Chains A and B, each alone.
Chain A
Amino acid sequence: MSVNRAQRVDLEVVTDLIPANSRVLDVGSGDGVLLELLQETKQVDGRGLELSQRGVNECVARGLSVIQGDADTDLKFYADKGFDFVVLSQTLQATRNPKIVLDELLRIGNRAIVSFPNFGHWRVRFSLLIKGRMPVTRDLPYSWYDTPNIHFCTIRDFVNLCEELGATVEKATALDANGQKIGLSMPWWFWNFFGQQAVFLLRR
């Protein structure tokens, strides 16, 4: 997954949520960019789970503690509350069963941090409403037939899922198309319309 400017901002938002020296599990750690950032800036005890073997081998070669595995099947091997934070960054929409994955995150971590692209963003709505086409945007560059993102949701959908799983939203941030944080004073509908990405801090 290429890391563009807006996504980098989401990593910064995630990093800001994590205190120094925490135990962190990064689910879907990719090439290790977040883990490395967290180790450098927060001296965390970081671990990663990554689906692609290439990503894993790169991470390990760079000295990161990462194993190959699938968020859909391998989270069950982790102990309850084994980590202070479990991070799922831009991966939820690519899992087969987001509800079970989110449930597992809340079991393994004292806190879960989830970031995802908001399918309620106005560009997405515009594409469907006016063009009648599945959206292909800068941040969601795949066509419908080859996308790894099989479970899109909007910010509102995600909040509903959290309620269903008994998770408390401790903090939420929406980023607009330029990677700017949307003001906290804005109502949910505004976030859901203008937020291109969202970052949630959850606990149960």
Chain B
Amino acid sequence: MAAQRAARTKDEVDHPSSPVLHFGPDKPLKLDAGTLLSPFQIAYQTYGSLNDARSNAILVCHALTGDQHVANTNPVTGKPGWWEVLIGPGKIIDTNRFFVICSNVVGGCLGSTGPASTNPATGKPYGLDLPIITIRDMVRAQAMLIDHFGIEKLFCVLGGSMGGMQVLEWAASYPERVFSALPIATGARHSSQNIAFHEVGRQAVMADPDWHGGKYLDFGKRPEKGLAVARMAAHITYLSEAALHRKFGRNLQDREALTFGFDADFQIESYLRHQGMTFVDRFDANSYLYLTRAMDYFDLAADHGGRLADAFAGTKTRFCLVSFTSDWLFPTEESRSIVHALNAAGASVSFVEIETDRGHDAFLLDEPELFAAINGFIASAARARGLSL
């Protein structure tokens, strides 16, 4: 099973099962690192159909370990799309009404160019030869994809966590191309604590001897142990103390008493080990390094002279921000500071904080209040955009 999943993940890197858009030497991707990425490719999924006015397109931006398979069965894991609770025919984001696009980010490992992709110059995987990718680079690549569809203005750009960072970047970089923006459980910059957690994860990957200085694929190896530890540490930050305690408490795993050893005595240990193990089958370790780095580097205010409001000066985009009370990765204060900046810029903004103990990952779950907010925001934006119901 695990080996099969790992093999499928490998197949998806250069030849994904979703549609792919190739950009040749005539269309390089300009990177913040100061170089050009060329050639490169973007793997994407679409749902529904684009209307004649090309005004009903919604771009969904995925989070750190997400992918383009937002509303279809995932080709690697066989599980439902990661936001199928929200997106699909008759769902809150109704694919009978909207044309939904989701693409794998550049730097990812499910078909868009990333460190596991074959470097055409060498015929081998890029590994660490891939330049550092930023959130803005990801968005620039998505804009090229949107150009390909002939879409001038997206009806909505939405996403959570790293996806929310892309939403903010879209609104700041292409204000005239974003009618409405829905950044969820995110921030305009990565906090010191978040960089710290990411660094722990990266060090775990790089400490694994199977990492081979990033060239593990050349050796037919993968730093599974290191990546699993990185995932375990990160996974804790996606939950909350209250949710962990509610779910696992100090319950023991398949045993009556402590074993006085280092087995997974507690359910929480067993759960985290499982999370770590299943993750390494579907994700490339170097991609994890690149994407965590992209989040660390994100600081929208710094890109605009240190004043966040200037990132949104004169914007006509309608915003709705959502945070969760128990999210300690992107606490409500992060969203609130974005709201204050948008207020100062005179932007149209709604802001909802949702009471839940499910932590950061609440944005991926069935949260009725989240859905009510998204529904209200999308419906009123659709009226303003003149999209029929």
Contacts and interface: CB of A to CB of B under 8 A. Distances in A.
Interface stretch (B32-40, B62-70, B104-112, B370-378): B370-378
A47 B318 CA distance: 11
Contact residues on A (Cβ < 8 Å of other chain), bracket: 20 to 34
A62 B344 CA distance: 24
A63 B353 contact: no
B49 interface: no
A117 B226 CA distance: 65
A57 B349 contact: no
Given A60-B351, A67-B350, A77-B343, 4 more contacts: A47-B348, A61-B372, A65-B349, A79-B344
Given A65-B318, A66-B350, A67-B349, A57 B372 contact: yes
Contacts of A68: 351-353
Interface in B346-374: 346, 348-355, 369, 372-373
B369 A57 contact: yes
A81 B318 CA distance: 20
Interface string B317-342: 01010000000000000000001100
Contact of A61 (B348, B351, B373): B373
B352 A57 contact: yes
A45 B258 CA distance: 63
A63 B351 contact: no
A63 B379 contact: yes
Contact of A65 (B346, B348, B383): B348
B380 interface: yes
A57 B343 contact: no
14 contacts: A47-B349, A53-B355, A56-B351, A60-B350, A60-B377, A63-B383, A64-B376, A64-B380, A67-B339, A67-B351, A68-B352, A79-B344, A79-B345, A79-B346
Given A77-B344, A79-B344, A60 B376 contact: yes
Contacts of B352: 53, 56-57, 60, 68
A188 interface: no
A53 B376 CA distance: 16
Contacts of B355: 53
A79 to B, nearest CB: 5
Contacts of B348: 45, 47, 65
A56 to B, nearest CB: 6
Contact of B373 (A47, A60, A78): A60
Nearest to B380: A63
Interface of A: 45, 47, 53, 56-57, 59-69, 74, 77-79, 82
Contacts of B380: 63-65
A74 B350 CA distance: 14
Contacts of B349: 47, 65, 67
- Which 5 A-B pairs have CB atoms at the shortest separation, nearest pair first? A63-B380, A67-B351, A61-B376, A61-B372, A77-B340
Contact of B344 (A47, A64, A69, A78): A78
Contact of B353 (A53, A64, A82): A53
Contacts of B383: 63
Contact of A57 (B346, B373, B379): B373
Contacts of A47: 348-349
A70 to B, nearest CB: 11
Contacts of A66: 350-351
A66 B319 CA distance: 10
A108 to B, nearest CB: 10
Contacts of A57: 352, 354, 369, 372-373
Contacts of A45: 348
A77 B341 CA distance: 7
A78 B345 CA distance: 8
A66 B351 CA distance: 6
A113 to B, nearest CB: 19
A65 B350 CA distance: 5
A42 to B, nearest CB: 16
Contacts of A60: 320, 350-352, 372-373, 376-377
Interface in B274-326: 318, 320
A69 B354 CA distance: 14
Given A53-B355, A57-B352, A63-B379, A78 B320 contact: no
Nearest to B384: A63
Contacts of A56: 350-353
A119 B60 CA distance: 53
Nearest to A49: B343
A82 B340 CA distance: 14
Contacts of A79: 343-346
A61 B344 contact: no
A62 B376 contact: yes
A64 B376 CA distance: 8
Residue among A53, A59, A65, A74 with max Cβ neighbours from chain B (10 Å)? A65
Residue among A47, A61, A79 with max Cβ neighbours from chain B (10 Å)? A61
Given A57-B372, A57-B373, A64 B343 contact: no
Contact of A78 (B343, B353, B372, B377): B343
B169 to A, nearest CB: 21
B305 to A, nearest CB: 17
